[in-house]
């Protein structure tokens, strides 16, 4: 018999935090095997993904293309390391497959491809996920479906015009079946964000979105924000997540923020210990 996930009314925050910690364990192990990876981003987004997949999203692990599913769109494709870890925890893929991450002929690419079960869009070039999510939300409304569209994108993508066009469209069309999670971690490929994009929350409100701005690594705050985002009030919802790259591993939290961080071979055991001792 198929088991389908559906939104919960009274989630166990402790259980969701345990899921997030398991996701972080996978992220460290996957990065360790190949000696690189988007490890700090994976650690930072783990809380939001745990809340989405184990509390909010309606999906069928055995049938990732189930027609009536909610959609989760990962615009920031290089966050795939955390998405694969989440898929393993959710039963969409086998945990053993995580060992192939980033290797030749693996389904688990370092940026998402929609040929992998559970992936909705190709997440290569940034700045396109929100536009595609707006289209999906319009399509579901035309079908008179109650399915919702969740899309994650980053503050770096707010430096791209296509993202602002999609924000304008979502507000104009009143897509209250659309929920955006905006990961504001302050970094892009070569270091800190170059263009001044703040205040993100106020700008989204100006485009007609309902907006909440929260600590993106607080499970209580994430669950509360997702519950509020269920409102059918004629407005799309935006949750601005202020996340900390490397969350859960103090050494990485303090390291210079960048896409890739330098990791010495003798540091991985230390990272594992720090994660297990942390309160995330």
Residue 260 falls within a domain, yes or no? Answer: yes
The chain-wide mean pLDDT, for the chain, equals: 92
Domain with residue 259: its CATH number is 3.40.50.970
Residue 1 falls within a domain, yes or no? Answer: no
Residue 50 falls within a domain, yes or no? Answer: yes
Which residue segment(s) compose the domain that 189 sits in? Answer: 13-277
Handedness of CA 50, 56, 61, 67 (dihedral sign): negative
Query: How many separate domains does the chain show?
Result: 1
Per the model's pLDDT, the better-predicted residue between 111 and 216 turns out to be: 216
Residue 257 has pLDDT above 70, yes or no: no
Q: What percent of the chain has pLDDT over 70?
A: 97
Residue 6 falls within a domain, yes or no? Answer: no
Residue 259 has pLDDT above 70, yes or no: no
pLDDT at 123: 86
pLDDT at 1: 37
Mean pLDDT across the stretch 260-273?
87
* Strands (E) located in the chain: 71-74, 149-154, 178-184, 187-188, 191-192, 210-215, 237-242
138-189 pLDDT, tens digit per residue, is: 999 999 999 999 999 999 999 999 999 999 999 999 999 999 999 999 877 7
pLDDT at 125: 78
CA 278 to chain centre: 21
Per the model's pLDDT, the better-predicted residue between 9 and 157 turns out to be: 157
Residue 2 falls within a domain, yes or no? Answer: no
């Amino acid at each position: 018999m198929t088991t389908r996930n559906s939104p919960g009314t009274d989630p166990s925050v402790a259980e969701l935090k345990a899921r997030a910690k398991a996701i972080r364990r996978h992220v460290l192990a996957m990065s360790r095997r190949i000696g690189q990876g988007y490890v700090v981003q994976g650690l930072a987004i783990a809380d939001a993904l745990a809340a989405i997949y184990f509390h909010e999203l309606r999906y069928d692990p055995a049938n990732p293309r189930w027609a009536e599913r909610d959609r989760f769109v990962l615009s920031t494709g290089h966050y795939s390391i955390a998405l694969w870890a989440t898929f393993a925890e959710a039963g969409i893929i086998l945990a053993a497959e995580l060992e192939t991450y980033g290797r030749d002929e693996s389904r688990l690419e370092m940026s998402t491809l929609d040929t992998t079960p559970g992936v909705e869009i190709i997440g290569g070039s940034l700045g396109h996920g929100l536009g595609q999510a707006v289209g999906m939300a319009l399509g579901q409304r035309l079908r008179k479906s109650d399915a919702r569209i969740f899309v994650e994108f980053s503050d770096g993508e707010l430096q791209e015009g296509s993202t602002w066009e999609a924000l304008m469209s979502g507000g104009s069309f009143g897509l209250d079946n659309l929920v955006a999670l905006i990961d504001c971690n302050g970094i892009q490929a070569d270091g800190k964000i170059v263009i001044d994009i703040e205040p993100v929350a106020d700008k989204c409100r100006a485009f007609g979105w309902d907006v909440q701005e929260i600590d993106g690594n607080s499970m209580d705050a994430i669950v509360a924000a997702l519950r509020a985002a269920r409102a059918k009030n004629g407005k799309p919802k935006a949750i601005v997540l202020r996340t900390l790259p490397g969350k859960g591993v103090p050494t990485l939290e303090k390291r210079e923020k960048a896409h890739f961080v330098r990791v010495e071979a003798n540091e991985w055991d230390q990272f594992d210990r720090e994660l297990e001792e942390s309160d995330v």
